[in-house]
C-alpha cells in the first residue's frame, strides 16, 4: 500500500510522464504540446530532482535522528560529469523513465546527450572525489561532500591548427537543474585586517578584526546511492556580497563604488584553477581555499552544536577528510574557532583537532607539494599565520625532545620553510596534525614512507596507511557500458555485482567459454562502433572496426609520456612505409587515439599536442598506410567523452616514468571495461598485475628502483637506433614545424629526465606483444574477460570501506524502508 511515509512521488511510467509534462509547462515554462529535446531534458531532470530531494530529506532526517559519527569529505575539486543517467540508474527507475519518454515521442539516450558536464575539477583527484561520493552514498555512510561552486569549471579545450586554446566553460548559462540554492544557509567569511589582543572575562584572547567580509551561500547537490534510499549531499559554496559591510559603504554615500565592490565577492568562486604548479602562491587561489574551508567548518560546527554542547564529543561525531593539501587550512581554522571563539584552552583544542583529520596526498614528488608564502598568508589571514607559528613552535619543541638537536632534520620537518621566500609547507602541517596519512596505491604509500615523508614516518610510523584508489562501477560500467552491464548480469546470474563488485571474479570460470567469448566480442564491437561514429563526426577520419583501438587519454604531462606514445606511432608508421605488400598484410591494423588537456601555461605539453596533430595529419593522409594506421586526437576530453571512449578501447596505455604516477585511476576504468593495459610498473598498475596476472597485460620499462641509476647515466646513455631514427624524422621536418619540435627531440636526446630513450626498446617489445595477442582473437578475448573479472579490487566501494574502517571510524546508517 502506498503510504505518505514512502514519499509523494510514484515511479510508474504514467506518473513519470505526468511529472515530466508538469515540469515542461510550469518549470521550463513551455507548452506541454510543443517542446524540443533540450526542454524535454530540463523537464526530465527536474522530475528526477524531485525524487532526489525527497530522498535526501529522508536521509538527512534519519541521520539527524540517529546522530551517527559523520564524515566530511573536503575537496576543492569534484569532477561529476553528467548527472541524469547516473541518477535514474541509482534510483532504479531508468527503464520506467525510458518508457514514459518513448510514449511522449522522446528517446532517453538522446535527452541524456543534452546535458553538459559539471567539470569542477582537473583530472584524477577530482574524478576520484566523484567516484568516492557515489560509493559513500551507495554504502550508506553518513557522509557529506564539501566543495566550491565555480562559475567556470575546467577550461574547454579548442584545437586550432593543432594548437590548444582555452575557452571558458559556461556550464551554468542554461541553468543547473540538479542544484538547490539554500538562501538561508549562508555564512560570513572574513579576510585581511588585524589581530588585537583583548581581555575577555579576565582572560587574554585574540580578536580578529577583518578588513573584508564575503558571504558564502550553499548550493546542495544530491548524490543518490544505488540500491538504497540513502541520498547524501554535496554542498558547494558560492561567493555573495555581504550585506553587513555593504550597508556601511552605502551609508557613506559612495553608491556606485559600493555596488562595484559587491561584484568582487562573486569573483572568489568564479574560476577553477588548472592543475599547474606555477599558480602556487596566487592570492585568489588562497582566498578560494580559505573561503571554502571557513564556510564548511562553520556549517559542520553548527550541525554539531545543534545536537551537542561539549566539544569533547566532537571527534566522536565528526571525521574530516582532507583531499590533498588544498583544504588543509581547515586544521588551522578549527583551531582558531575552538580557541578564539569557543574559548577552549589551546592544548585541549589541539588534542581535539588531532583526532579529527585524515589526510590523503595525491602527489609523488616534493616539488608537487603546496607552499604558501608567509607574507601572503599573513596579509590575507593574519590570525591563521599566528596559529600556524604556534602549532609549529609546539611541534618543534616536542620534536627536539624526541630527536635531539639534529638541525637538518628539524628544518626539513618544520612547517615553516626558512628559504629566500619564507613559506608554509601545507603538507607538513597536514602530516603533523592528521591522525592518518594515506597514500593512494601501495607503491605510492611506500614512497611516502621512504622518500617524501621519511622523517615523519620514522617519528610516527602508525600514522601511515595505504588506501588504494578505486572507481565506481556504477558510472564506469552500468552508465557508460549498458551492453557489458547486461552481459555481466546474464553470465553471473545476478545484478548483485553492481553493489558487490567482487562477484565479477565469477567470470573467470567462463573465460574460455566459446559462447561468452562470442558475446564478449559483440559487446566490444558495439562500443567500438559508437566510438568510431564519434571519431568520424568529430574529425572526419573513418576508422576500421577490425583495427585495434589503442587509447591514451589523460591530462597531458611529460611524466605521463604521451611523447613516447607518439614516437612509437612514428616508428610504426615508418616500419609500414618500408614494408612490401606481403609484409603489410601481416600488420595488425591500429587506430591510435590520444586525448587530454594541457595546463594553459605548460608549453611542453602544448607542443606534444601539436606534434600529435602534425603526425596525425601525415599518417591519416598517406594512402600507402590506409587502414593499417590512423591517429586521432580527441579534443576536450572530459567525463562524458570518457564514457564513450573507454568502453570502445581494446588497448589502453599508461606510460608514466616509474615512480611518477601516485596511482592512476583511468587504468581501472579501462580494466573494468575489458580493455587490455600496456603499462609501466608504476602506481596502481603494480596492484593490477597482482590481481589479473602479468600474463594478462603488457608491461614494459624501467622499474621504480632502476630509475635513479638510469638517470645518473644521464645524457651520455645511448639513444637506441630506432628511437634516434624517429627523432631524426621529426628533426628533418617530415611532419613539418621543424624548428618548433626541436626542443622536444632535445629533451629525449639530451637529459632524458623521463627516460623515453632508455624505455623505448622495451616499449616497442610490449607493443609487438600486444599486436601478436590481438591477432589471436580467442587469446585476446580471454585476456579481456580476465581483466574485467579481476577489476573488483579497484572499485571505490572497496576504497571507501577501507577509509570508513581504518581512517574515519564511521559506520553505515541506512534509511530503513519501513521508516
446 burial (CB, 10 Å; 0-12 / 13-18 / 19+) is: middle
When asked if residue 219 is in the footprint of ligand 26Q (CB under 6 A), the reply is no
**Residue 280 Cβ, how far from ligand 26Q at the closest point, in Å?**
5
Distance of CA 529 to the CA centre of its chain: 28
When asked if residue 467 is in the footprint of ligand 26Q (CB under 6 A), the reply is no
Instruction: Pick the catalytic residue from 371, 669, 793, 798.
Output: 669
321, 392 contact by CB (below 8 A):
no
Catalytic residue at 555?
yes
User: Residue 207's CB: how many other CB atoms inside 10 A?
Assistant: 12
When asked if residue 683 is in the footprint of ligand 26Q (CB under 6 A), the reply is yes
| 136 three-class SS | helix
**Of 55, 11, 64, which is closest to residue 222 (Cα–Cα)?**
55
User: Residue 775's CB: how many other CB atoms inside 10 A?
Assistant: 13
Among residues 132, 321, 423, 665, the one that binds ligand 26Q under rule CB under 6 A: 665
Q: Residue number with the shortest CB distance to ligand 26Q?
A: 124
> Taking contact as CB under 6 A, which single stretch among the options 204-212, 663-671, 752-760, 772-780 is the one that binds ligand 26Q?
663-671
Among residues 301, 319, 642, 662, the one that binds ligand 26Q under rule CB under 6 A: 662
> In Å, how far are 52, 173, 352, 451 from 227, measured between CA atoms?
14, 33, 36, 42
When asked if residue 128 is in the footprint of ligand 26Q (CB under 6 A), the reply is yes
User: What does the alpha-carbon distance between residue 126 and residue 41 come to, in Å, rounded to a whole number?
Assistant: 26
User: What does the alpha-carbon distance between residue 743 and residue 366 come to, in Å, rounded to a whole number?
Assistant: 26
467, 439 contact by CB (below 8 A):
yes
**Residue 451 Cβ, how far from ligand 26Q at the closest point, in Å?**
15
Instruction: Pick the catalytic residue from 362, 463, 597, 606.
Output: 362
Among residues 13, 81, 124, 327, the one that binds ligand 26Q under rule CB under 6 A: 124
**Chain residues 281-310 in contact with ligand 26Q, contact rule CB under 6 A:** 285
Beta strands in 451-587 (DSSP E): 464-466, 548-553
When asked if residue 275 is in the footprint of ligand 26Q (CB under 6 A), the reply is yes
One character per residue 399-438, x = contact with ligand 26Q (rule: CB under 6 A)? ----------------------------------------
Distance of CA 161 to the CA centre of its chain: 29
When asked if residue 687 is in the footprint of ligand 26Q (CB under 6 A), the reply is no
Among residues 43, 74, 84, 125, the one that binds ligand 26Q under rule CB under 6 A: 125
| C-alpha cell recorded at residue 193 | 585586517
**Chain residues 38-67 in contact with ligand 26Q, contact rule CB under 6 A:** none
**Chain residues 437-456 in contact with ligand 26Q, contact rule CB under 6 A:** 440
> Taking contact as CB under 6 A, which single stretch among the options 229-237, 421-429, 656-664, 688-696 is the one that binds ligand 26Q?
656-664
| C-alpha cell recorded at residue 258 | 559600493
When asked if residue 679 is in the footprint of ligand 26Q (CB under 6 A), the reply is no
> In Å, how far are 3, 289, 326, 383, 773 from 389, measured between CA atoms?
58, 19, 19, 10, 60
Sole residue written with cell 632524458:
752
653, 679 contact by CB (below 8 A):
yes
Cβ-based nearer residue to ligand 26Q, 129 or 231: 129
When asked if residue 671 is in the footprint of ligand 26Q (CB under 6 A), the reply is no
When asked if residue 701 is in the footprint of ligand 26Q (CB under 6 A), the reply is no
**Chain residues 335-394 in contact with ligand 26Q, contact rule CB under 6 A:** 362, 370
Q: How many CA atoms lie within 13 A of 749 on its CB side?
A: 17
- In degrees, rounded to 5, the angle at the alpha carbon of residue 812 between the alpha carbons of residues 807 and 814 is 160
User: What does the alpha-carbon distance between residue 229 and residue 815 come to, in Å, rounded to a whole number?
Assistant: 6
Cβ-based nearer residue to ligand 26Q, 89 or 133: 133
**Residue 421 Cβ, how far from ligand 26Q at the closest point, in Å?**
16
User: What does the alpha-carbon distance between residue 768 and residue 722 come to, in Å, rounded to a whole number?
Assistant: 14
CB neighbour burial string for 496-531, b if at least 16 within 10 angstroms, e if fewer: ebbbebebbbebeebbeeeebbebbbebbeebbebb
When asked if residue 279 is in the footprint of ligand 26Q (CB under 6 A), the reply is yes
**Of 217, 234, 279, 181, which is closest to residue 600 (Cα–Cα)?**
279
Catalytic residue at 560?
yes
When asked if residue 663 is in the footprint of ligand 26Q (CB under 6 A), the reply is yes
**Residue 6 Cβ, how far from ligand 26Q at the closest point, in Å?**
39
Cβ-based nearer residue to ligand 26Q, 120 or 616: 120
Q: How many CA atoms lie within 13 A of 190 on its CB side?
A: 18
> Taking contact as CB under 6 A, which single stretch among the options 275-283, 338-346, 448-456, 762-770 is the one that binds ligand 26Q?
275-283
Catalytic residue at 705?
no
When asked if residue 469 is in the footprint of ligand 26Q (CB under 6 A), the reply is yes
Catalytic residue at 571?
no
Cβ-based nearer residue to ligand 26Q, 296 or 445: 445
**Residue 639 Cβ, how far from ligand 26Q at the closest point, in Å?**
14
**Residue 285 Cβ, how far from ligand 26Q at the closest point, in Å?**
5
> Taking contact as CB under 6 A, which single stretch among the options 235-243, 277-285, 400-408, 609-617 is the one that binds ligand 26Q?
277-285
Catalytic residue at 581?
no
Q: How many residues does the chain have?
A: 819
When asked if residue 747 is in the footprint of ligand 26Q (CB under 6 A), the reply is no
Catalytic residue at 554?
yes
Binding residues for ligand 26Q, rule: CB under 6 A, are 122-125, 128, 273, 275, 279-280, 285, 362, 370, 440, 469, 661-665, 683
Catalytic residues: 362, 554-555, 560, 665, 669
Amino acid at each position: 500500500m502506498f503510504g505518505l511515509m514512502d514519499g509523494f512521488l510514484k515511479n510508474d511510467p504514467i506518473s513519470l510522464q505526468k511529472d515530466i509534462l508538469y515540469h515542461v509547462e510550469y518549470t521550463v515554462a513551455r507548452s506541454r504540446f510543443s517542446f524540443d529535446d533540450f526542454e524535454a531534458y530540463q523537464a526530465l531532470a527536474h522530475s528526477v530532482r524531485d525524487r532526489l530531494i525527497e530522498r535526501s530529506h529522508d536521509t538527512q532526517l534519519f541521520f539527524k535522528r540517529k546522530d551517527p559519527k559523520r564524515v566530511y569529505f573536503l575537496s576543492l575539486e569534484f569532477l561529476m560529469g553528467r548527472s541524469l543517467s547516473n541518477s535514474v540508474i541509482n534510483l532504479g527507475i531508468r527503464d520506467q523513465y525510458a518508457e514514459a519518454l518513448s510514449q511522449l515521442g522522446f528517446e532517453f539516450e538522446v535527452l541524456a546527450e543534452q546535458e553538459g558536464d559539471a567539470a569542477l575539477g582537473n583530472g584524477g583527484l577530482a574524478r576520484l572525489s566523484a567516484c568516492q561520493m557515489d560509493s559513500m552514498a551507495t554504502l550508506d555512510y553518513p557522509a557529506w561532500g564539501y566543495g566550491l561552486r565555480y562559475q567556470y569549471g575546467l577550461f574547454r579545450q579548442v584545437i586550432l591548427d593543432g594548437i590548444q586554446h582555452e575557452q571558458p566553460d559556461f556550464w551554468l548559462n542554461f541553468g543547473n537543474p540538479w542544484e538547490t540554492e539554500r538562501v538561508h544557509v549562508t555564512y560570513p567569511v572574513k579576510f585581511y585586517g588585524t589581530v588585537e589582543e583583548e581581555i575577555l572575562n579576565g582572560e587574554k584572547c585574540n580578536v580578529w578584526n577583518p578588513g573584508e567580509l564575503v558571504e558564502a551561500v550553499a548550493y546542495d547537490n544530491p548524490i543518490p546511492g544505488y540500491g538504497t534510499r540513502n541520498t547524501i549531499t554535496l554542498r558547494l559554496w558560492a561567493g555573495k556580497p555581504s550585506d553587513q559591510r555593504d550597508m556601511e559603504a552605502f551609508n557613506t554615500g559612495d553608491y556606485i563604488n559600493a555596488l562595484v565592490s559587491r561584484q568582487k565577492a562573486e569573483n572568489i568562486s568564479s574560476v577553477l584553477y588548472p592543475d599547474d604548479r606555477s599558480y602556487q602562491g596566487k592570492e585568489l587561489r588562497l582566498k578560494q581555499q580559505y573561503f571554502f574551508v571557513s564556510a564548511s567548518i562553520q556549517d559542520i560546527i553548527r550541525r554539531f552544536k545543534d545536537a551537542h554542547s561539549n566539544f569533547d564529543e566532537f571527534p566522536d561525531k565528526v571525521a574530516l577528510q582532507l583531499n590533498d593539501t588544498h583544504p588543509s587550512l581547515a586544521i588551522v581554522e578549527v583551531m582558531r574557532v575552538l580557541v578564539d571563539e569557543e574559548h577552549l584552552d589551546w592544548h585541549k583544542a589541539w588534542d581535539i583537532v588531532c583526532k579529527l583529520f585524515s589526510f590523503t596526498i595525491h602527489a609523488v614528488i616534493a616539488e608537487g607539494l603546496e607552499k604558501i608564502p608567509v607574507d601572503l598568508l599573513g596579509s590575507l589571514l593574519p590570525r591563521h599565520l599566528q596559529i600556524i607559528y604556534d602549532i609549529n613552535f609546539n611541534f618543534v619543541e616536542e620534536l627536539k625532545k624526541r630527536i635531539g638537536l639534529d638541525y637538518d632534520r628539524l628544518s626539513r620537518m618544520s612547517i615553516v620553510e626558512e628559504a629566500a621566500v619564507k613559506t608554509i609547507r601545507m603538507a607538513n602541517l597536514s602530516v603533523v596534525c592528521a591522525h592518518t596519512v594515506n597514500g593512494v596505491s601501495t607503491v605510492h604509500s611506500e614512497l611516502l614512507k621512504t622518500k617524501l615523508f621519511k622523517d615523519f614516518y620514522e617519528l610516527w610510523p602508525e600514522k601511515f596507511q595505504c588506501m588504494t584508489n578505486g572507481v565506481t562501477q556504477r558510472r564506469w560500467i552500468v552508465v557508460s557500458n549498458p551492453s557489458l552491464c547486461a552481459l555481466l548480469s546474464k553470465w553471473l546470474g545476478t545484478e548483485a555485482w553492481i553493489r558487490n563488485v567482487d562477484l565479477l571474479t565469477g567470470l573467470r570460470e567462463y573465460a574460455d567459454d566459446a559462447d561468452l567469448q562470442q558475446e564478449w566480442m559483440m559487446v566490444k564491437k558495439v562500443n567500438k562502433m559508437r566510438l568510431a561514429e564519434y571519431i568520424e563526426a568529430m574529425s572526419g577520419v573513418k576508422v576500421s572496426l577490425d583495427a585495434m583501438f589503442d587509447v591514451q587519454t589523460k591530462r597531458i604531462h611529460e611524466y605521463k609520456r604521451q611523447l613516447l606514445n607518439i614516437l612509437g606511432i612514428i616508428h610504426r608508421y615508418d616500419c609500414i612505409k618500408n614494408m612490401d605488400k606481403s609484409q603489410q598484410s601481416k600488420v595488425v591494423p591500429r587506430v591510435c587515439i590520444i586525448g587530454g588537456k594541457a595546463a594553459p601555461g605548460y608549453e611542453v605539453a602544448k607542443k606534444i599536442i601539436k606534434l600529435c596533430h602534425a603526425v596525425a595529419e601525415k599518417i591519416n593522409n598517406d594512402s600507402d598506410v590506409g587502414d593499417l594506421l590512423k591517429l586521432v586526437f580527441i579534443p576536450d576530453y572530459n567525463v562524458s567523452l570518457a564514457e564513450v571512449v573507454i568502453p570502445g578501447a581494446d588497448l589502453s596505455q599508461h606510460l608514466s616514468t616509474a615512480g611518477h604516477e601516485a596511482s592512476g585511476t583511468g587504468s581501472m576504468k579501462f580494466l573494468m571495461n575489458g580493455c587490455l593495459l600496456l603499462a609501466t610498473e608504476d602506481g596502481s598498475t603494480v596492484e593490477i598485475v597482482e590481481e589479473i596476472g602479468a600474463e594478462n597485460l603488457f608491461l614494459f620499462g624501467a622499474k621504480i628502483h632502476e630509475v635513479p641509476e638510469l638517470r645518473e647515466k644521464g645524457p651520455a646513455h645511448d639513444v637506441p637506433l630506432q628511437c634516434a631514427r624517429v627523432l631524426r624524422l621529426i628533426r628533418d621536418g617530415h611532419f613539418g614545424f621543424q624548428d618548433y619540435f626541436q626542443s622536444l627531440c632535445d629533451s629525449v636526446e639530451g637529459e632524458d629526465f623521463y627516460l623515453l630513450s632508455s624505455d623505448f626498446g622495451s616499449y616497442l617489445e610490449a607493443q609487438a606483444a600486444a599486436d601478436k595477442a590481438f591477432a589471436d582473437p580467442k587469446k585476446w578475448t580471454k585476456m579481456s574477460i580476465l581483466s574485467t573479472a579481476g577489476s573488483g579490487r579497484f572499485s571505490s566501494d572497496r576504497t571507501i570501506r577501507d577509509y570508513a574502517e581504518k581512517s574515519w571510524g564511521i559506520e553505515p546508517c541506512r534509511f530503513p524502508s519501513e521508516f
